[in-house]
């Protein structure tokens, strides 16, 4: 690359607010991931509500997001709603370890949620998955 080409590239990168190193950010972020790849646990939870009362269940499930995401070991915590059966939800959780998931199950907000689900007639099915390291 000519000197003029290098200067043009530097000017472009500076204007774009990045550097050549910034282009590798996803790789760098993966390298600093606090969860060893062989310890990560994923929990898939299906929550079955009652037809016509999906807004109550949705509000309740959304209320769990912030306190759960603040827990040690929570890597990801996302909620999905069925497009066909609006009272059906799926939670996709990723935890740094099995111990982190177990601690989550004992958290006060989750214990209260289980009690509320029983009172309201909502049912839950959970499967737990361990990451396969390539």
Q: Where are the domains of the chain?
A: 1-32, 41-130
- Residue range 41-130 in CATH 3.30.70.100: yes
Tens digit of pLDDT for each residue in 113-133? 999 999 999 999 999 999 888
Kindly tell me the burial class for residue 109, based on how many C-beta atoms sit within 10 Å of its own C-beta (0-12, 13-18, 19 or more).
Answer: middle
Sheet holding 123-130, edge to edge: 74-81, 88-95, 41-48, 123-130
Mean pLDDT, range 101-106, rounded to an integer: 95
Tens digit of pLDDT for each residue in 35-71? 677 789 999 999 999 999 999 999 999 999 999 999 9
């Amino acid at each position: 690359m000519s000197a003029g080409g290098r200067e043009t590239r530097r000017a472009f990168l500076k204007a774009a607010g990045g550097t050549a190193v910034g282009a590798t950010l996803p790789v760098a972020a993966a390298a600093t991931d606090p969860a060893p790849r062989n310890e990560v646990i994923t929990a898939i939870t299906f929550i079955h509500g009652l037809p016509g009362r999906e807004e109550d269940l949705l509000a309740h499930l959304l209320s769990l997001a912030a306190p759960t995401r603040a827990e040690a070991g929570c890597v990801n915590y996302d909620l999905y709603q069925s497009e066909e059966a609006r009272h059906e939800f799926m939670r996709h959780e990723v935890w740094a370890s099995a111990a982190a998931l177990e601690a989550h199950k004992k958290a006060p907000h989750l214990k209260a949620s289980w009690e509320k689900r029983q009172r309201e007639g909502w049912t839950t099915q959970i499967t737990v998955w361990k990451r396969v390291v390539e």
